[in-house]
């Protein structure tokens, strides 16, 4: 049975289901497979003023890590106060 003959014997509901419902279902499935996984593990968005629970992290350039900085992966505090150099500078800001 060709498509044209099939269309003649189908009801309106069947036509809608076949030509709109099925394509829509396929599109939805593909979209879910594409965007679903990344949405599920998306990092939380930072909002100033909202206290968040998160794991502290200490980031270095990949090349610096290779040169013996790997121990910094565990960002626990602190060095003894005496180890802190006297001639350190810098700046602070708050928001």
Q: Which two tokens stand for residue 21?
A: 């419902």
Q: How far apart are CA 95 and CA 63, in angstroms?
A: 32
Length, in residues, of the chain: 95
Q: Give the range of 9-17, 26-34, 44-52 binding other proteins by CB under 8 A.
A: 44-52
* By the rule CB under 8 A, 13 interacts with other proteins: no
60 near other proteins, judged by CB under 8 A: yes
Question: With CB under 8 A as the contact rule, which of the stretches 4-12, 19-27, 28-36, 43-51 interacts with other proteins?
Answer: 43-51
Residue 75 CA to chain centroid, in angstroms?
Answer: 23
Is residue 18 within 8 Å of residue 10, measured between CB atoms? yes
Q: Which stretch binds other proteins (CB under 8 A): 8-16, 18-26, 27-35, 53-61?
A: 53-61
Residue 54: both structure tokens together: 């998160």
Q: Contact positions toward other proteins, by CB under 8 A?
A: 41-64, 67-69, 72, 75, 77-81, 83-85, 87-95
């Amino acid at each position: 049975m060709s498509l044209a003959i099939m269309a003649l014997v189908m009801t309106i509901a069947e036509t809608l289901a076949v030509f709109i419902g099925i394509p829509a279902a396929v599109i939805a499935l593909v979209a879910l497979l594409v965007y679903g996984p990344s949405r599920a593990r998306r990092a939380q968005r930072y909002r100033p003023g909202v206290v968040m629970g998160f794991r502290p992290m200490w980031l270095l350039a990949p090349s610096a890590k290779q040169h013996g900085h790997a121990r910094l992966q565990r960002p626990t505090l602190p060095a003894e106060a005496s180890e802190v150099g006297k001639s350190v500078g810098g700046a602070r800001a708050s928001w």
